[in-house]
């Protein structure tokens, strides 16, 4: 093979609690994460050198890019004396709390693993991913999972009952994760999600029981009027629940049917930077083409 193409899904947080601080200074969390069908498309081409392109994206392609970090970590771990020309066609909005950068890293790891026949297990890829970012192991696993510790300790859950999401990205520059946690440290949160109850509802396939447990402790500190406005819009279109995902700024609503989610996403477009309807997906990055 000279080229593989990988699609990597976005994630949503169905519940997020901040539980404390780890010894390394990072916040510890307890959260439910869900992969959704909004896909980054990543082309990985065999090369003796290395290059990264992100056409039509404002994301920088420098050394700090997660795709570059993933490539370096992969070649270091495998000892392969090789390279790659990587092109990332971004669909997931940046600074949205949807793990776009982590999806890119996960897609590169899966792509390089396939391109060079390294045959690293998912567990081995997750260990590499954890050195890149806390969301990368989940971005590799996908599906529905409970994440604890600094976010890298994962417990797979049953797939969600049949549902769809409407997702909207507020206008503006998005939210910085460090800034979101700084605000939380200053202001706290009026809600404390019951993660045990949320997971029990998911395991039982009960969306009605899950909906009231869908809360995010970082949302109160976000202080963006667009968050409330988009939540009200989704609620008015019949969402079982609505909330901000991750550290923000994207907002989503949970719907029982595709038609409802698509209608709500269409209604959100005039007041958002972007809006989409997407289903939950059961896995992580997938190789869609080999040449």
Strand partners, 51: 85
Sheet holding 251-255, edge to edge: 241-244, 251-255, 164-169, 274-278
How many DSSP H helices and E strands does the chain contain? 9, 11
DSSP code of residue 65:
S
Q: Which of 69, 90, 91, 135 is catalytic?
A: 135
Residues 6+ apart with CB under 8 A from 72: none
* 206 is an active site residue: no
Burial class (CB in 10 A: 0-12, 13-18, 19+), 89: middle
Q: Which of 11, 69, 90, 91 is catalytic?
A: 11
Reading the block at residue 17, the tokens are 């609690």
What is the rounded end-to-end Cα distance, in angstroms, of the chain?
A: 5
Measure the CA–CA gap between 100 and 113, rounded to whole angstroms. 20
* 223 is an active site residue: no
- Catalytic annotation, residues: 11, 135
């Amino acid at each position: 093979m000279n080229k593989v193409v990988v699609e990597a899904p976005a994630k949503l947080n169905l519940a997020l609690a901040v539980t404390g601080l780890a010894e390394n200074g990072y916040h510890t969390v307890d959260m439910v994460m869900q992969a959704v069908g909004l896909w980054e498309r990543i082309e990985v081409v065999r090369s003796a050198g290395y290059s990264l392109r992100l056409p039509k994206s404002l994301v920088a392609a420098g050394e700090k890019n997660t795709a570059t970090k993933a490539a370096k970590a992969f070649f270091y771990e495998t000892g392969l004396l090789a390279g790659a020309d990587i092109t990332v066609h971004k669909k997931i909005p940046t600074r949205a709390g949807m793990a776009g950068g982590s999806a890119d890293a996960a897609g590169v790891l899966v792509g390089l693993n396939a391109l060079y026949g390294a045959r690293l297990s998912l567990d081995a890829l997750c260990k590499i991913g954890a050195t890149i970012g806390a969301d990368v192991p989940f971005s590799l696993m996908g599906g529905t999972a409970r994440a604890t510790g600094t976010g890298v300790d994962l417990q797979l859950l049953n797939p969600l009952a049949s549902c769809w999401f409407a997702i909207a990205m507020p206008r503006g520059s998005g939210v910085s994760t460090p800034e979101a946690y700084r605000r939380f440290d200053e202001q706290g949160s009026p809600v404390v999600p019951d993660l045990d109850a949320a997971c029990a509802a998911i395991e039982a396939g009960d969306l009605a029981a899950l909906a009231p447990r869908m809360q995010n402790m970082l949302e109160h500190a976000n202080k963006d009027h667009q968050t409330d406005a988009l939540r009200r819009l989704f609620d008015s279109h019949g969402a079982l629940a609505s909330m901000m995902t991750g550290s923000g700024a994207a907002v989503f609503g949970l719907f029982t049917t595709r038609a409802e989610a698509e209608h709500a996403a269409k209604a959100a477009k005039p007041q958002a930077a972007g809006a989409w309807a997407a289903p939950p997906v059961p896995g992580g990055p997938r190789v869609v083409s080999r040449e």
